[in-house]
Amino acid sequence: MSDVAVSLYPFEDGGSIPNHPQWPMIVYQGAFASTTGDRAATIESAFHSNGWTQSWRNGIYAFPHFHSNAHEVLGIARGSARVLFGGSAGDVFDIGTGDVALLPAGTGHENLAASADLLVIGAYPPGCSDWDLCRGDALDGSAIRETIAAVPKPSSDPVHGNSGPVHDHWVQFP
């Protein structure tokens, strides 16, 4: 997986969707595209072996939302989706089988359209198991932004473990 194409997407604060103040969303294009067999189990196993053990299987909510107290990784085990990442300050992405998107706390996401067979493996790093679901309405803006900024950098990359873009691009500032 060392030859996986990685792209970084920093998003500005979008008002009701704050996004992360320092760290970009990371997309690993085709990280699990060549996987044979049970791709969902392979993605889940990779996330777990890299310390991202709080996992689930489902889709992506069709309303704009974010998690203020957790980073989240989304691995596409099957199907495809058109997702708005970053809220009004973001962009629309087409993601498909084998792709992985790593969202720092605060990053908005909304499923705009998906294939009927979409299966997403989501997971959270240690310390982020009690994640919240924020819709951006009626939130205390300054408090939510403080919560987002306080979520620590994960100790491992969900795809590469002890190496990879989390270590290279999510720099912890004092």
Q: Delineate the domains of the chain, giving CATH numbers in brackets.
A: 5-154 (2.60.120.10)
**Closest to 157 measured CA to CA, from 31, 12, 16:** 31
Query: In the chain, which residue ranges form alpha helices assigned H by DSSP?
Result: 39-49, 141-150, 165-169
pLDDT at 17: 94
pLDDT at 137: 73
User: Which residue do the tokens 């085709």 mark?
Assistant: 30
**Closest to 25 measured CA to CA, from 82, 94, 81, 109:** 109
**Closest to 123 measured CA to CA, from 50, 53, 21, 171:** 53
Each residue's pLDDT, cut to its tens digit, for the chain (174 residues) gives 557 899 999 999 999 999 999 999 999 999 999 988 999 999 999 999 999 999 999 999 999 999 999 999 999 999 999 999 999 889 999 999 999 999 999 999 999 999 999 999 999 999 887 899 999 775 678 899 999 999 999 999 999 999 999 999 998 765
DSSP state of 66: B
DSSP state of 173: P
pLDDT at 127: 86
**Closest to 164 measured CA to CA, from 172, 174, 152, 156:** 156
**Closest to 154 measured CA to CA, from 121, 122, 128:** 128
